[in-house]
Amino acid sequence: METDRPANVSFSDFVGGVQLLRGEDTRTAMPVILIGICVSGAVGNLLVLLVFLRDFRNGKGSEVKALLASVASTDLVILLLCAPVRAITFYKQTWTLGSFVCSTTDWFQHSCVVAKTLILAVTTRAKHTLVPSTAAGPLYSPAWIHAVLAFVWIVSMVFPIPQMLFASVVPHGSDALCVSQVSECASDFMSLFYKIYPTATFVVPVSFTMAYYTKSLHSAVNHAPSPQQQSKVTLVLLCLSGALGLMLLPEWGTFTWIRLGYNKPPVGLILFAQVLLYACSSLSPVILVTMYDDVRQGLISIWFIATCRGSKQLPSNKCPKTEGNGAEVGTNAVANAGSAEQEKTFPDVEHFWTGRRNTHVEEEQDPVPWEREEKML
C-alpha cells in the first residue's frame, strides 16, 4: 500500500480510504462490513429522527432532544455519504471517483466528525426539561439552538480545510490514486497544525464532556430533587460521549501519527480504525433506544400506529389511540382489557338473577305460612 513520494514532498498518505491493498479477502470483506454498518445505522438514525420530530410536533421537545436530533442527522450523513466512498475505494483498490470527490471526501468526513463531537459538548449547556410547543420563555430558545448549530458547523468546516487543499489525484501506472501530499515549504506549518487540530476538535471537547457528565451524574444521584429522571438523561449523554471518545480514538490516533511523520502503523490498525468510525455512528441510535425512555416509548407508539394502519381487517376500536408518547399506549391497552373483563357476564347467570330480581311471594302460595305468623307474633 506504499506510494512513490516525490523528492519535494515531506508527507504523503492516501485520501478516501486505503488503496493498493493486497489480498482478495480484504477487498471483499471491507465493503461488505461497511455496507452492513451503513444499512443498520441509517435505519436506526432515521427511527430516532422520526421519534424526535414526533415529540416536537406533539409539544414534548427539549433543547437536548434538538441537539440529539442534530447528532443523529450528522451520523446519517456520515453513513450515507462518507462510508460508501470508502467501500468503493476498498473494492476498486484505486481511485475512480474523480478529482472533486478526492479533494472533498476527507474534508467533508472530518467536518461531520468534528461537528458531532462539538454538538455533544454543547449538550452540557442545554436544558433537559420538556418544552411545551407554545413556550417562548426561558425554557426554550430556538434562536439559541439555531445559532449554536450554525457556529458549530462553521467551525467544523473551517478546521479541516487543509485536508482539502493538499488532496489530489496522481497517476499510478494505468490507474489513479487519491493522496494527500504536503510540500517541504509547508511542512513546518502543517506539523504544528496536526498537533493543534486533533487536540482542539477531539481531545478537549470529549474530555470536557465526559468530565462534566460524570460530575453531573454524581450530583444528580446524591443531591437532585428527582434523581431518577435526571440521572437517566445524564447517563445517556455520558454513554454517548464515552462511546464517541473510545471509538474515534483509533482513527484520530492513526491520523495524527501518520501526519506527524512517524512510521505508518499496520494496515490492519488503519482499517480497524476506519470501521470503528462508522460503527460509532451506528451505535448512537442503539444507545438512545436502549437507555433513553422517551425514544423507546416513541418507537413503541409509532409501532402501534403502523400496526393499526397496516391491519385493515381489524375494527377501529381495537387499535389503541396515542395522544402523546408511548406511555398512553400501554395504559390504554391495560385499561381497555380491564374494562372488558369487568363487563363480561355469563348469560345464564344474568337471566337467572333477572328473573329472581324484585320478586314478591303471594300469601296464598307461601309454602311455609307458619314462619311468617311466628315472625308477626
What average pLDDT score do residues 277-281 get?
A: 96
Q: Which residues pair with 177 in a beta bridge?
A: 170
- CA 272 vs CA 77, 263, 277, 292, 342: distances in Å: 21, 18, 9, 29, 60
Q: Which residue has the higher pLDDT, 353 or 107?
A: 107
Write the CA distances from 261 to 91, 222, 256, integer angstroms: 28, 48, 9
**Residue 354: per-residue pLDDT:** 52
pLDDT at 134: 47
Q: Give the pLDDT of residue 128.
A: 62
Look at residue 238 and tell me whether its pLDDT is greater than 50.
yes
Fold of 9-127+141-305: Rhopdopsin 7-helix transmembrane proteins (1.20.1070)
Q: Give the residue, 46 or 133, on which the prediction is more confident.
A: 46
Given this model, what pLDDT does residue 294 score? 87
Tell me, what's the pLDDT at 333? 47
Q: What is the pLDDT of residues 133-178, one digit of tens each?
A: 444 444 456 788 899 999 999 999 999 998 888 888 988 888 899 9
Residue 325 has pLDDT above 50, yes or no: no
For 14, other C-beta atoms within 10 Å of its C-beta total 21
pLDDT of residue 331: 45
Higher pLDDT, 6 or 218: 218
The pLDDT mean for the chain works out to 80
Extract the runs of DSSP E, i.e. beta strands, from the chain.
9-14, 167-172, 175-183
Domain boundaries, the chain: 9-127+141-305
pLDDT digits (tens, 9 = 90+) for 290-310: 998 888 888 888 888 888 876
Other beta carbons within 10 angstroms of residue 178's beta carbon come to 26
φ, ψ of residue 360 in degrees (nearest 5): -135, 125
Give the list of residues 6+ apart from residue 279 with CB closer than 8 angstroms, or none: 37, 41, 247
Whole-number Å distance between alpha carbons of 121 and 194: 22
Burial bucket for residue 286 (CB in 10 Å: 0-12, 13-18, 19+): middle
Could you tell me the pTM of the whole model?
0.77
Please report, in angstroms and rounded to a whole number, the separation of the first and last CA atoms in the chain.
118
pLDDT at 330 over 50: no
Portion of the chain with pLDDT greater than 70, in percent: 73
Largest alpha-carbon pair distance within the chain? 131
Name the burial class of residue 309, with classes exposed (0-12), middle (13-18) and buried (19+) by CB atoms within 10 angstroms of its CB: exposed
